Structure 1
Amino acid sequence: MPIFLADIRYCSLKDAPDVCFVEERSSAAPWPRTLIRRDLAGDTPMLYLGAWGKDILLGFAALGPCEKGTELTNIAVLPEYRRKGIGSQLVLGVSEVALSLGYSRIYLHVRVSHEESRTFYGGFDFSSLYVVPGYYLDGEDALFMEALLPLPV
């Protein structure tokens, strides 16, 4: 697997068009542009990290509060940059942010049917806590997963 070393940094409102582009290219059910803009404007407690290659946003990850602490709520990488280490760099970046905010654990939801994602997160020692029935808009269940911080490198 060829690795692409990205520049990981916080996203701001000026990055909204790029974040929306990556989200729309990466997801069958993309987050609404208005939600992303609101998050990046600072109107919510969400933080976004971007993975940049030169002047191109290759992927992003969103981190926000949840009932148990902090949650990786979204991660997206342009299809042509997948399997090049971008997602891993984003997960590790988000974990560093969570640690700096004082969290000792990080959580996420993943589709029960998405074995590839479950395996990916398992590589960072995420473990399944329980199933959330009908979590996704299409009715699919989610696994609620947890990992202790810091994540293994």
Structure 2
Amino acid sequence: MTYKDIEEVAMIEKKSFTLPWTIDIYEKELTENSYAHYYVVEKNDKIIGFCGVWIVIDEAQITNIAILPDYRGQNYGVGLFQYIINQVIASGVRRLSLEVRVSNIIAQRLYRKFGLKPAGIRKNYYTDNNEDAIVMWVDL
């Protein structure tokens, strides 16, 4: 992901999440956060998905991942997640984690395909509706 991709990524955020990150947050992630790494998926020169990950020493945290609704169910998310796994392993990461809404069964299924397992609950994690988040981890 480059600086010029931020507006398209922010649009995907708005179409995917009830609490989307702002353009300002992405600008700071790309310019000020040395732990942040962001990747996009393109089809016909159009960004259709993205993923962010923070890498700190030998652990990685997925910050967000989304595919445009019209492209879901076509394995773009699987391909993107596999790419992220490969990237973090190449960076020396040994553990990967993320949070996912308890209601987001489709995402949980994807993460389980890559070996992530529930490790805990963050109560009232999502401020839009106080939904809990499942913390999922995998040793790489």
Alignment TM-score, normalising by the size of structure 2: 0.91
Per the TM alignment, residue 80 of structure 1 is displaced from its structure 2 partner at its CA by 0.3
Instruction: Answer yes or no: is the 8 Å Cα contact 2:101–2:131 preserved in 1.
Output: yes
Per the TM alignment, residue 65 of structure 1 is displaced from its structure 2 partner at its CA by 3.9
Unaligned runs of 5+ in 1: 1-10
Q: Counterpart in 1 of 2:32?
A: 43
Question: What is the 5 A alignment of 1:32-111?
Answer: 32-40=22-30, 42-44=31-33, 45-65=35-55, 69-111=59-101
Q: Counterpart in 1 of 2:131?
A: 140
Q: 1: distance between equivalents of 2:87 and 2:134?
A: 23
Deviates more, 1:64-73 or 1:45-54: 64-73
Paired-residue identity, % = 28
Instruction: Answer yes or no: is the 8 Å Cα contact 2:58–2:93 preserved in 1.
Output: no
Name the SS of the counterpart of 1:34 in structure 2.
helix
Instruction: Answer yes or no: is the 8 Å Cα contact 1:49–1:93 preserved in 2.
Output: no
Instruction: Answer yes or no: is the 8 Å Cα contact 2:58–2:92 preserved in 1.
Output: no
Per the TM alignment, residue 49 of structure 1 is displaced from its structure 2 partner at its CA by 0.7
Per the TM alignment, residue 51 of structure 1 is displaced from its structure 2 partner at its CA by 0.5
Q: 2: distance between equivalents of 1:110 and 1:27?
A: 12
Change (3 A) 1:68 1:135: farther
Change (3 A) 1:135 1:66: farther
Name the SS of the counterpart of 2:131 in structure 1.
coil
- Larger proportion of helix: 2
Unaligned runs of 5+ in 2: none
Change (3 A) 1:118 1:133: same
- Letter matched to residue 28 of structure 2: R
Give the root-mean-square deviation of aligned CA atoms. 1.7
Q: Counterpart in 1 of 2:104?
A: 114
Q: 1: distance between equivalents of 2:134 and 2:92?
A: 25
Per the TM alignment, residue 148 of structure 1 is displaced from its structure 2 partner at its CA by 2.4
Per the TM alignment, residue 68 of structure 1 is displaced from its structure 2 partner at its CA by 8.0
- Kindly report structure 1 stretches of 4+ aligned residues shifted beyond 3 Å: 65-68
